[in-house]
Amino acid sequence: MTTPERDHPSMLELRNVSKTFGSVVALSDGNLALESGSIHALVGENGAGKSTLVKIIAGLYRRDQGEYLLRGESVDFTSTAQAKDAGIAVIYQEPTLFPDLSVAENIYMGRQPTNRVGRIDRKTMRTEARKIFERLGVRIDPDRVTEGLSIADQQLIEIAKAISLDARVLIMDEPTAALSGNEVARLFSVARSLRDEGRAIMFISHRFDEVFELCDTITVMRDGAYIATTPAHETTIEEMVRMMVGRDVATLFPKVDAEIGDVVLHVDGLNRAGVFHDISFSVRAGEIVGLAGLVGAGRSEVARAIFGVDSYDSGSVTLLGKALPAGRPAEAVRRGLAFVPEDRRKQGLVLDSGVARNLTLAVRNSLRRFGLIRTRDENRLTEAWATRLQVKAFAMDTVVGTLSGGNQQKVVLGKWLSTEPRVLIIDEPTRGIDVGTKAEVHRLLSDLAGQGLAVLMISSELPEVLGMADRVLVMREGRISAEIDRADATPENVMLAATHQTEAAR
């Protein structure tokens, strides 16, 4: 452990914690020390043991061995309720609120303030909720129904819940994944004010720039074990990655130069009221067009509209020279368009189904012989793609939900690539994937472009966009604000276009 000895106990401490499921070791050596008044980052690849660690802290799992200390006292939680009572709150990536109930009720459910008779005191509840929001510096109406609130607002309600319970330890699990730039800034200032109140905050994220911006301490894990803890200002991204992966990663984004051919996808004047305006661009064979911008700029919406899952009000989409009718995903697939969606688990895969069934879902009609489909053919196709993409699963009918994030993404890719598309739209290709598989995916995209595939890649990770794209389109608040060639693209001008209107705007 590299943290100095303290004269008072840490707020939360884990020492040599291990957890095994059957014969498999999920966590072999978990170590962590959260101090009050600090924001502590936990980084590691998928499979490093982070989520097991968090679940032990939250009381979802019980540790097999090791010590778990809260303010120096040993604890052993058998339920999440116990952990909550002890002052531990976890803010998950997807807030779990009650959509039909008001914000205030969501915060105080089960603990509403009551008068002597036991009747709920709604006025006090409202006032208390308002006070909490004031402390956080946000404006949310406590009486409004939570349905329809943005994810960012919902997260803040979860934080308000934690504060109302006077949580001394707050764990935030990938909180910024679905937030726009403004919302991230707001979340960070909330986190800082919570830290200044003396709480201990743990921040789990794959986004290194955010880690360095917000956190004062970083703990790295790898393969179920603790690796190191350093103060943030004493380390760099490269060193962190090295500790996470175990060796130097030379190139993460090996984009090969490819011959750029004709226009295969042409979007003209696409409009959807309140979502995107006057979107026009083209993608050529062999080209990777990066679609950059802040979350909430409307990029996924544009992609979904092009593919047909969502509708649009006006404009046109031309695929391989022919007009593509709106709102017909099946037709789009038939004509050579493929779409790897943003949310792998909810939109990309049928988690309870097997690998082969998932992989052949989009091409099922082409596998037909005399109208029938045979499992043998499904398996053959699956094996071919699984080999190509190096999908690691035991059997054809292994339930996809049990695979790792990286393997799941490969199944989704296999599903779409098996349709032999001419255009691939891929939304956040490497979100939630470990560094190793990330590079595989990038190499794959580069190869495919080299073979003539036209790729539209939506990504919120600047390094990925800058590394992979031949051309970068930047969207801001529903419009394309810039189009930048690879040679001219820098983090600065892309970021600028994503946040401000520039002269280069279309």
Partner 1 sequence: MTVPTTAAGSIAARRTALAKVGARLLSREAGVAATLILVVVFTTLQNPNFVFSPDGYRDLLLTPSILMLVAVGQAFVIITRNVDLSVGSIVGITAYLTGRLFIDIPGIPVLAVFLAGAIVGGALGLINGALVAVARVPALVITLGTLYIYRGLNVAWVGSDRINASDLPREFRSLGTEQILSIPVLTLVAVMVLIAAAWYLRNTRGGREFYAIGSDPDAADLYGLKVNRRIITAFVMSGALSGLAGVMFAARYGTVSSQAGTGWELQAIGAAVIGGVAISGGVGTVWGAAIGAFLLLTINRALPVIGIQDFWQRAVVGALIIGAIVLDRVLAVRQARKLRELRDTNND
Partner 2 sequence: MTELRTVSGPRRTMVPHGRPLWRRAVLTREGAVIGMLAVVIVVALTTVPNFDSPLTITFLLRDVAPILLIALPMTLIIITEEIDLSVASVVALSSVTVGILTRDGAPFELAMVAGVLVGAVAGTINGFLVTVVGLPSLAVTIGSLAMFRGISVGLLGTQAVTDFPEEWTSLARSNIPGTPIPSIMIAFVILAIIFGVVLHATPFGRSLYAIGLNKEAAHFSGVNVGRTKFILFVASGTVSGFAGVYFTLLYGNARGENATGMELAVIAAVLLGGVSIFGGRGALHGVIAGVLLIGTIGSALRLAGVTADIINVITGVVLVLSVVSASFLAWFHRARATARARGEKQG
Binding site for partner 1 (CB under 8 A): 79-81, 84, 96-102, 105, 109-112, 114, 118-120, 141, 143-145, 147-150, 153, 180, 182, 273-274, 277, 296, 477-478
The first and second tokens of residue 490, run together, are 């820098």
Both tokens assigned to 47 = 């499979």
The CA distances from residue 321 to 306, 312, 317, 483, in Å, are 15, 20, 10, 23
If binding is defined by CB under 8 A, does position 395 make contact with partner 2? yes
Nearer to partner 2, 189 or 404 (CB): 404
Nearer Cβ to partner 1 (4/274): 274
In the list partner 2, partner 1, none, the entry touching 143 (Cβ below 5 to 8 angstroms by class) is partner 1
DSSP 3-state of 69 = strand
CB atoms within 10 A of CB 487: 6
Least distance in angstroms from the C-beta of 311 to partner 1? 14
CB of 98 to partner 1, least distance (A): 4
Q: Which residues does residue 48 pair with via DSSP β-bridges, in sequence order?
A: none
Q: Are 57 and 211 in contact (CB under 8 A)?
A: no
Instruction: Select from 87, 341, 414, 432 the one that contacts partner 2 (CB under 8 A).
Output: 341
**Residue 47 sits in the site that holds partner 2 (CB under 8 A):** yes
Dist. CA 183–CA 210, nearest whole Å: 13
User: And the tokens for 473?
Assistant: 């389109």
End-to-end, the C-alpha distance of the chain in Å comes to 53
Q: Does 245 bind partner 2 (CB under 8 A)?
A: yes
Q: Which does 392 bind (CB under 5 to 8 A by kind): partner 1, partner 2, none?
A: partner 2
Distance, in Å, from the CA atom of 122 to the CA atom of 128, rounded to the nearest integer, reads 10
Q: How many CA atoms lie within 13 A of 203 on its CB side?
A: 32
**C-beta closer to partner 2: residue 44 or 315:** 44
Question: Judged by CB under 8 A, does residue 375 bind partner 2?
Answer: yes
Write out the two tokens for 449. 């472009």
Between 120 and 350, CB nearer to partner 2: 350
Closest Cα partner for 482 from 466, 498, 458?
Answer: 498
64 part of the interface to partner 2, by CB under 8 A: no
Q: Rule CB under 8 A: which of 247-276 touch partner 2?
A: 247, 250-251, 254
Per CB under 8 A, 393 contacts partner 2: yes
Is residue 444 a contact point for partner 2 (CB under 8 A)? no
Specify the residue, 48 or 288, whose C-beta has the smaller distance to partner 2.
48
The residues in 118-147 that bind partner 2, with binding defined as CB under 8 A, are: none
Q: Which of 86, 361, 496, 505 binds partner 2 (CB under 8 A)?
A: 361
C-alpha dist (Å) from residue 371 to 333, 335, 439:
19, 20, 40
The secondary structure of residue 233, as a DSSP letter, is: G
Measured from the CB atom, the residue of 368 and 500 that comes closer to partner 2 is 368
Q: Does 223 bind partner 2 (CB under 8 A)?
A: yes
Question: By C-beta, is 143 or 397 nearer to partner 2?
Answer: 397
- Alpha-carbon distances, residue 220 vs 239, 277, 411 (angstroms): 10, 43, 29
Report, in Å, the least distance between residue 219 CB and partner 2. 15
Residue 10 or 180 with smaller CB distance to partner 1: 180
Query: By rule CB under 8 A, what count of residues binds partner 2?
Result: 81
* Residue owning tokens 């004269």: 7
Choose between 187 and 243: whose C-beta lies nearer to partner 2. 243
Residue 340: strand pairing partners:
426
Kindly state the smallest distance separating residue 190's Cβ from partner 2, in Å. Answer: 28
Q: How far apart are CA 67 and CA 55, in angstroms?
A: 15
> Any contact of residue 398 with partner 2 (CB under 8 A)?
yes
Q: Please name which of 417, 420, 467, 493 lies closest in space to residue 290, comparing C-alpha atoms.
A: 467
Asked if 244 and 435 count as a contact pair (C-beta separation under 8 A), the reply is yes
- The partner in contact with residue 361, picked from partner 1, partner 2, none with C-beta cut-offs of 5 to 8 angstroms by kind, is partner 2
Is 62 an interacting residue with respect to partner 2 (CB under 8 A)?
no
Pick from partner 1, partner 2, none: which does 410 bind, CB < 5 to 8 A by kind? Answer: none
